[in-house]
Amino acid sequence: MFISRVEADELEERLDPAYYAPLALQTDHWLAAVHQDNLDRLGYLTEVVASAFYEGLSARYGERGVAFVRVGDVRLGTVELSRTMRLDESIATGTPGLAYEETPLLVLTKGGSVGRVGLAFEEVGVALSRDVLGLVARDERQLPRILFYLASPPGRAQVLRGASRQVQAHLTVERLRAVRVPRLAEADQQLLTTAYDKLKFARMAFEAADDAATANFVAAYLTTQGAHNQAMRAGSGVRFRSYSREQLSDLLLPPPALQVEFATHLRAVASTSEALHQSWANGIQLMLNAIGWGTAADVDLPDDAGVIGDGSDGPEELD
């Protein structure tokens, strides 16, 4: 067990308590025991890309185009591209200060909820908001190693140490480049690659289940008397608020067969969501096993605890 006791001659340039948190000190001791030839700097493994100061974009969001990745889109080791805001390709690639990168790409949150990492892989390229960083692997075969390590306790501790805390935690690029990543045995690397592929499959399975449930919900709703009344009364300014709760419950229920079908879709969403959670946790545990860190009890995903896609992960970025 580590406690945050630091002698005066051990103090570095930082004096804030978070810099000397127990996990950070434990990571220091662990890194000191690893031969330096078995560690790579993150700046050697990846190129760090970031957006700078760009014009406000919220008025230019659309339903189609390039995904604009923000803090809330990074969850459970992946980027929820199906829920991102969209920018026309000309805006995404031609706006001064706005970073656009091709996938696969690791995205790390640097503002709001700092240090969450996810893989963007489902589309050709993405645009990055100010509050995320892109990590472009110099060798794509190293993506599994980098992804799961940055989410592990020692990796996350190093990332959080790179956050400036003058007002609110905000990750700095130079500190991020200095994060040390352990080299792995070939067998461990292969296990992580398999876990990486399973994580991608789990994300795609969840997206498919969620899309099917959404489509089914819309179809079921359109069969209700409430939908019919809403359409017929749209020009009058009267909306559902004119109905009592009891009336609404009658108006908004689709036929029993469609209710059963929708419940089936919801169960599929719950099942694939759980599979995605498990795939992410399993990958992190494999990394911990490979570096000899700890047991499954040490796998903690505090920033990914919310329901997928619920937007409960911090303040909305203002563009």
Confidence of residue 52 (pLDDT cuts 50, 70, 90): confident
Q: How far apart are CA 65 and CA 61, in angstroms?
A: 9
Q: What is the pLDDT of residues 89-129, one digit of tens each?
A: 999 999 999 999 999 999 999 876 788 999 999 999 999 99
239-268: b or e for each residue (b if 16 or more CB lie within 10 Å)? eeeebeeeeeeebbbbeeebeebbeebeeb
> In this structure, are residues 82 and 111 in contact, taking their beta carbons and an 8 Å threshold?
no
Q: Which pLDDT score, from 0 to 100, does residue 69 have?
A: 96
The two tokens of residue 25 are: 């000190």
DSSP string, 243-283: S-HHHHHHHTPPPHHHHHHHHHHHHHHHHHHHHHHHHHHHH
Q: Which pLDDT score, from 0 to 100, does residue 201 have?
A: 97
Q: How far, in whole angstroms, is CA 61 from its chain's centroid?
A: 20
Using CA atoms, how far residue 189 sits from 35, 85, 195, 265, in Å, is 19, 34, 10, 36
Lowest-pLDDT range of 31-40, 146-155, 234-243, 259-268: 234-243
Q: What is the pLDDT of residues 180-210, one digit of tens each?
A: 999 999 999 999 999 999 999 999 999 999 9
Q: How far apart are CA 100 and CA 88, in angstroms?
A: 12
Average confidence (pLDDT) over 294-317: 45
Question: Does residue 319 register a pLDDT over 60?
Answer: no
Confidence of residue 23 (pLDDT cuts 50, 70, 90): confident
More confident residue, 319 or 60: 60
Give this prediction's pTM: 0.81
Mean pLDDT of the chain: 82
Packing angle, helices 186-222 and 143-151, rounded to 10: 80
Average confidence (pLDDT) over 302-307: 42
Strand-by-strand arrangement of the 125-128 sheet: 85-87, 66-69, 125-128, 99-102
Average confidence (pLDDT) over 80-91: 92
Question: Does residue 216 register a pLDDT over 70?
Answer: yes
For residue 236, the one-letter residue type is S
For residue 6, the one-letter residue type is V
Q: What is the pLDDT of residues 134-148, one digit of tens each?
A: 999 999 999 999 999
Average confidence (pLDDT) over 60-76: 93
Q: Which pLDDT score, from 0 to 100, does residue 63 have?
A: 84
Q: How far apart are CA 79 and CA 74, in angstroms?
A: 5
Confidence of residue 313 (pLDDT cuts 50, 70, 90): very low
